[in-house]
Amino acid sequence: MEPLSTEKKEALRAAAAEHGLYSPSFERDACGMGFVAHLRGEKSHAIIEDALTVLDHMSHRGACGCDPETGDGAGILTQIPHELYQALCAERGFALPEPGQYAVGMLFLPRDAEKRKQAKALIERIVGEEKLPLLGFRDVKVHPDACGWLAREGLPEFEQVFVGAGGDAGQEAFERKLYLTRRRIENAANVAGLTADAGFYICSWSSRTVVYKGLLVPEQFPRFFADLADPRMKSGLALVHSRFSTNTFPSWARAHPYRYIVHNGEINTLRGNVNWMHAREMQFKTDKFGAEIKEVLPVLSQSGSDSGIFDNALELLLQTGRSLPHSVMMMIPEAWEKHDAMSESKRAFY
């Protein structure tokens, strides 16, 4: 990374000076996030390119430490690029069914060959026990030279696993089965010592979306993941994030997006939220999972950031049958206690 010239520094100081209605006192340290979507849902590579441009313009919202080329994290969530994955998987000797009939798991795996073999065997075993066809794995091509030396010290191996639906129960039921399967894998991995700190982490595991993320600064991000430059990488939406770590140490797994959200603040009620969730877990009951609901416990990952824990809770609410607006209103209620004009039914909801 080139040091800033004197002229560039002066230009930045001039841009940050108080003028018009702008005052530097309005600025706050926080993550950056952006969303690009086609109004009619049409998929194209242009959506990916536009989202990466948004991400590149949010470098000032991220942070770095002693290594200026190692960021707090950057990432993108997109719809599954079926055309790209279909071709890449065919090159590796296995075929993909139609979109919606398979899921993609984006994996961080340990660098140690034996631990990596152990993690993949664990995935294969539990996917088999859940009676889902495991279609195959593929290596995700990355360029380690694009990231900083500090990021390279903790660099995981990157692979994707492809899992078939194994029936025609519908995509919602498939997503619930995937959630249960992933939670079983994560719980078994923790018991085996294959934690995020040990290099094993599932970034996304869905028949709809996929997450690419890492301990990068925004301008490095498109160069790091080769898939992002492929014109067959198409989506109708893209969610991007540049992280400014506040209450947890930066790591590959703590970069955003998570499986459903990105977040640019700090949750100051976190400890109370975590305690209440733990207290309620033994009372969980849902006809969506039946007795298998115990397999997803504990819901919250204690190694995650406040945003990661929020994502864990939101995912539970969605997978047990609530809509996204309903779930978000439960998790981020408006100020209702002294709201005199609020209806009694809405007050009762909160």
Q: What are phi and psi of 251, to 5 degrees?
A: -155, 165
Among 81, 51, 11, CA closest to 218: 51
Q: What is the separation of C-alpha 126 from the centre of its chain, rounded to a whole number of angstroms?
A: 22
Active-site residue (options: 31, 89, 147, 203)? 31
Rounded (5°) CA angle 330-333-334: 155
175 CA to centre of own chain: 16
What is the per-residue DSSP string for 89-127?
Answer: HHHTT----STTSEEEEEEEE-SSHHHHHHHHHHHHHHH
Closest CA to 78 of 205, 209, 192, 168: 209
Neighbours of 244 (CB within 10 A): 21
Could you confirm whether 31 is annotated as catalytic? Answer: yes
Please check whether residue 161 is in contact with residue 123, taking contact to mean a CB–CB distance below 8 angstroms. Answer: yes
Q: Which residues pair with 36 in a beta bridge?
A: 238
Alpha helices in the chain (DSSP H): 6-16, 45-56, 82-91, 113-129, 149-153, 171-191, 221-224, 270-280, 306-319, 324-331, 344-349
3-state DSSP call for residue 161? Answer: strand
- The contacts of residue 171 (CB under 8 Å, 6+ apart) are 100, 207, 208
First-to-last alpha carbon distance for the chain, in angstroms, is 50
- Amino acid at residue number 209: T
Catalytically active residues are: 31
